[in-house]
Amino acid sequence: MKKEEYENKLPWDKLIVALDLEDKSSIAEVVNSLYVQRVKFKIGSIAFTKYGPDFLKTFIDKGADVFLDLKLYDIPNTMKRTAAVIAEMGCWAFTVHLQAGKDALTEVKDEVFKTSERLGIRKPLILGVTVLTSQVSDCKSVMDLAKIGNEVKLDGVISSPQESAVIKEQYPNLKVITPGIRINSQGLGDQKRVTTARYALTEGKADFVVVGRPIIKEKDYFNAALKVLEA
């Protein structure tokens, strides 16, 4: 995305809000505050473990794009069976660890394709996690993992916004999704490799940004999201 484009129109559709909350009504409130903007929502292990698939389905049934972030990492058979169940739910996207290796990832891909075809539903994006943004890392380790994602032809990878441009240049077919977004250097929490959303989506060439605490810890979710995109 070009800088001018960014400034003319805030990229709400490139924002994925991480619903890392334990309270059902707060989660629903975040979704209701941002749903009309066509923001996407990420449900991770906190909310999924507590409230399960039926809760997630309420947002999918409402028409929201839901990204299930369980970061699958297991033997190929377990990964592919779990991936098939996720595809059946109608998620927009889900994550796997690239470290699971090519065999497991290929099986996941094939199974998701078959399941979606059989049910006649949209195929979820399969996104490979490179190195967690809470860990200090070098670009080579991230690129080695991104290479696996490219070879297996996953839909995209998750990386910090500090590596996203290099991944996009080398592997233009991969979508790059970047957590590690902050308005400024305050409130980093456990994140180590961070930038602003604007940087990630322009210079960083990311396709989507994932933002949790800078939005969900605020009282006014809409204004907080606006500030994140404007920063």
Residues serving a catalytic function are 71
**Residue closer to ligand C5P (CB basis): 79 or 128:** 128
The answer to the question of residue 212 lying near ligand C5P (CB under 6 A) is yes
Task: Give the other-Cβ count within 10 Å of 41's Cβ.
Answer: 24
* Mode of pairing for the β-strands spanning 125-129 and 40-44: unpaired
Instruction: Kindly state whether residue 210 participates in binding ligand C5P, applying the rule CB under 6 A.
Output: yes
- Minimum Å gap between C-beta 72 and ligand C5P is 13
Q: Give the total of residues touching ligand C5P (CB under 6 A).
A: 16
Over the window 135 to 174, marking each residue x when it contacts ligand C5P by CB under 6 A and - when it does not, the resulting string is -----------------------x----------------
Chosen residue from 32, 184, 189, 220 binding ligand C5P by CB under 6 A: 189
How far apart CA 204 and CA 193 sit, in angstroms, is: 13
DSSP state of 183: S
Q: Which is nearer to ligand C5P, 4 or 138 (CB)?
A: 138
What value, to the nearest 5°, has the Cα angle with vertex 102 and ends 201 and 207?
A: 10
Asked if 169 and 190 count as a contact pair (C-beta separation under 8 A), the reply is no
Phi, psi (degrees; rounded to nearest 5) at 196: -80, 165
**Residue 125 binds to ligand C5P (criterion: CB under 6 A):** no
Kindly tell me which residue out of 115, 162, 191, 196 binds ligand C5P, with binding defined by CB under 6 A: 191
First to last CA, the chain: 16
The residues, ordered by sequence, that sit 6+ positions from 108 with a Cβ below 8 Å of its Cβ are 72, 76, 79, 80, 83, 96, 126
Nearest CB to ligand C5P, comparing residues 108 and 210: 210
Of 102-110, 126-134, 145-153, 164-172: span binding ligand C5P (CB under 6 A): 126-134
Contact status: 129 vs ligand C5P (CB under 6 A) = yes
The residue of the chain with the least Cβ separation from ligand C5P equals 212
For the four alpha carbons of 130, 132, 137 and 139, in that order, the dihedral sign comes to positive
- Contact positions toward ligand C5P, by CB under 6 A? 18, 20, 44, 129, 132-133, 158, 179, 181, 189, 191, 210-214
